[in-house]
Amino acid sequence: MKIFLDTANPEEIRKACDTGLVDGITTNPTLASREDKPFQELIKEILDIVNGPVSVEAVSRDSAGMVREAKGYSDWGENVIVKIPMTVEGMKAVKALSREGVKTNVTLVFSANQAFLAAKAGATYVSPFLGRLDDRGHSGTILLQDIMQVYKANGFGTQVIAASVRSPTHVLHAARLGVHVATLPPRVFWQLFEHPLTKEGLEKFERDWQKVKP
């Protein structure tokens, strides 16, 4: 499973990419609004840091507008993936863009049928939002399971990105299901490295080393 970082913060991206374990980035208008930089400048800075795919969201609501935006974003870098919302207009845009070889990430997906349509339209990636579904009393993990089953049964090549990840448990569920990508807020990325027994064990080794070191 690939790891993407779900942030538009260049410092966080640099720090996490330094581990060599980050394969790409996803951004959205909310994440971009937290940074104090003009949008294009911000995305270009991110593209300079990351070699892998960087998702950038189209904000038009009509398919022609989305296609126009997508083509503009694509000029910013070869690794740009255009995020398109899961709407009728969005799927028209994905269909048109896939014909032209523009890579897309269908976002705001909350049902397996929506994921089915996104794949049928030719999306490169589809992003089911686990946390937001859990927040409403549904199960993001069951949604992931359903999507993986539907994609396998239909032979779709669209890659599934576990999005709206809130905890390491979400990451584990996605990895168990063989999901292609999990996009993680930096906090969850760093949590994956940690275990209290690792910390405790290291402290003991350090104390004991003091007793035996030459």
Give catalytic residues, as residue numbers.
Answer: 83
Residue 164 lies near ligand E4P (rule: CB under 6 A): yes
Q: Which stretch binds ligand E4P (CB under 6 A): 92-100, 129-137, 171-179, 186-194?
A: 129-137
Residue 186 lies near ligand E4P (rule: CB under 6 A): no
Question: Minimum distance from CB of 208 to ligand E4P (Å)?
Answer: 42
How many residues line the site for ligand E4P (CB under 6 A)?
11
Residue 129 lies near ligand E4P (rule: CB under 6 A): yes
Give the CA distances from residue 154 to residues 77, 101, 133, 161, in Å, rounded to whole numbers and listed in that order: 32, 22, 24, 18
Distance of alpha carbon 170 from alpha carbon 184, whole angstroms: 10
Distance of alpha carbon 113 from alpha carbon 162, whole angstroms: 16
Kindly report the backbone phi and psi dihedral angles of residue 188, in degrees, each rounded to the nearest multiple of 5, phi listed first: -70, -35
Binding to ligand E4P, residues 11-70 (CB under 6 A): 26, 28
Residue 74 lies near ligand E4P (rule: CB under 6 A): no
Give the CA distances from residue 178 to residues 23, 115, 149, 182, in Å, rounded to whole numbers and listed in that order: 16, 16, 11, 10
Which residues neighbour 159 within 8 Å (Cβ) at sequence distance 6 or greater?
Answer: 124, 125, 126, 180, 181
Among 150, 140, 151, smallest CA distance to 174 is for: 140
Q: Given candidates 3, 5, 6, 106, which one binds ligand E4P under the rule CB under 6 A?
A: 6
* Residue 25 or 102 with smaller CB distance to ligand E4P: 25
Question: Minimum distance from CB of 41 to ligand E4P (Å)?
Answer: 20
CB hemisphere CA count around 19 (13 angstroms) = 16
Question: Minimum distance from CB of 24 to ligand E4P (Å)?
Answer: 11
The rounded radius of gyration (Å) of the Cα atoms in the chain is 19
Binding to ligand E4P, residues 98-127 (CB under 6 A): 107, 127
Residue 2 lies near ligand E4P (rule: CB under 6 A): no
Question: Minimum distance from CB of 29 to ligand E4P (Å)?
Answer: 9
What is the C-alpha end-to-end distance of the chain, expressed in Å?
43
Given the rule CB under 6 A, which residues bind ligand E4P? 6, 26, 28, 107, 127, 129, 131-132, 163-164, 183
